[in-house]
């Protein structure tokens, strides 16, 4: 058997970048994809390990961009052993206020449609071979209605439900599905989503994306159905989403996600 191949979306920064380093450390070949100039830097860094790595620019928020990526992967004429659907974007601010329709729809197009589209294109060949691993990066906010980041939290609820459902469908096929639930992680997400002036953006105890990547790798190779990464208290967010009423969860979330809340007391 040849060297296994992992495809990682959203690989230019943050968790995706560290996942690239982690899988490279364990001897995988890599295809890294993102839609920004930082992808080239990540490809160079990972390649410096002696790993065979290829960068493919693609806008997975568009049907055409996702189709193009799938076709380029087909052209490699080698199986994708691990598909990590990590690409995602947020849009902080009031949904009915100054946030644009374009930004809100891009959250849905990338986080939801892009995830479903690429999974649909690549999963059938894994099932046909009887082996493969699908990894869907969700979030501990998947069960929390998120005022001022309404589409983002909803998108993570979608991909968590989606991954859990197809994991059951794929039992016995040799293909595993792992849902990754990171908590607050120290990445570029908060700046890009316009959340730096919120308590969420200002909190200092964000998790290290290196740890998220290492815990994700361990869960994927073990074939686990899901993993909550980071400190143990991240389980509190997951359990709260399962046990508490949505209205209460939304009101608590609002304290931390409201624009300008970084300047306010935590309770008030």
According to the model, what pLDDT value does residue 174 have?
97
DSSP state of 261: G
Could you identify the residue written with the tokens 């961009």?
65
Tokens of 178: 């792992």
According to the model, what pLDDT value does residue 132 have?
98
244: left (phi over 0), alpha (psi -120 to 50) or beta: beta
According to the model, what pLDDT value does residue 264 have?
57
Tokens of 161: 């439900």
Closest by alpha carbon to 211, among 190, 227, 225?
A: 227
According to the model, what pLDDT value does residue 266 have?
44
According to the model, what pLDDT value does residue 98 have?
87
According to the model, what pLDDT value does residue 1 have?
61
Could you name the CATH architecture of 5-263? Answer: 3-Layer(aba) Sandwich (3.40)
Kindly name the residue from 63, 148, 152, 217 that is annotated as catalytic: 152
> How far apart are the C-alpha atoms of 143 and 1, rounded to whole Å?
40
pLDDT below 50 — which residues of the chain?
265-268
According to the model, what pLDDT value does residue 151 have?
98
According to the model, what pLDDT value does residue 268 have?
32
217 among known catalytic residues: no
DSSP state of 207: B
Sequence-distant (≥ 6) Cβ neighbours of residue 126 within 8 angstroms? 79, 80, 83, 132, 134, 173, 174, 175
């Amino acid at each position: 058997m040849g060297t296994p191949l992992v495809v990682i979306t959203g690989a230019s920064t943050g968790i995706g970048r560290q996942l690239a380093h982690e899988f490279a450390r364990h001897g995988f070949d890599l295809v890294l994809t993102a839609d920004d100039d930082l992808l080239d830097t990540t490809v160079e860094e990972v390649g410096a390990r002696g790993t065979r790595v290829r960068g493919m620019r693609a806008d997975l928020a568009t049907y055409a961009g996702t189709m193009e990526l799938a076709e380029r992967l087909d052209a490699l004429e080698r199986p994708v052993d691990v598909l990590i659907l990590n690409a995602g974007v947020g849009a902080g601010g009031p949904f009915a206020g100054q946030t644009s329709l374009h930004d809100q729809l891009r959250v849905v197009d990338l986080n939801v449609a892009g995830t479903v589209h690429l999974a649909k294109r690549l999963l059938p060949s894994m099932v046909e071979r009887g082996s493969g691993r699908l990894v869907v990066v969700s979030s501990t906010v998947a069960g929390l209605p998120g005022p001022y980041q309404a589409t983002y939290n909803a998108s993570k609820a979608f991909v968590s439900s989606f991954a859990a459902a197809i994991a059951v469908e794929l039992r016995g096929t040799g293909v595993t599905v792992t849902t990754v639930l990171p908590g607050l992680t120290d990445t570029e997400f908060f700046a890009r989503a316009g959340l730096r002036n919120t308590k969420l953006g200002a909190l200092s105890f964000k998790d290290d994306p290196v740890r998220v990547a290492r815990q994700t790798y361990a869960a994927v190779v073990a074939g686990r159905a899901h993993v909550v990464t980071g400190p143990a208290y991240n389980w509190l967010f997951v359990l709260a989403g399962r046990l508490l009423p949505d209205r209460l969860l939304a009101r608590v979330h609002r304290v931390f996600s409201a624009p300008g809340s970084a300047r306010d007391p935590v309770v008030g």
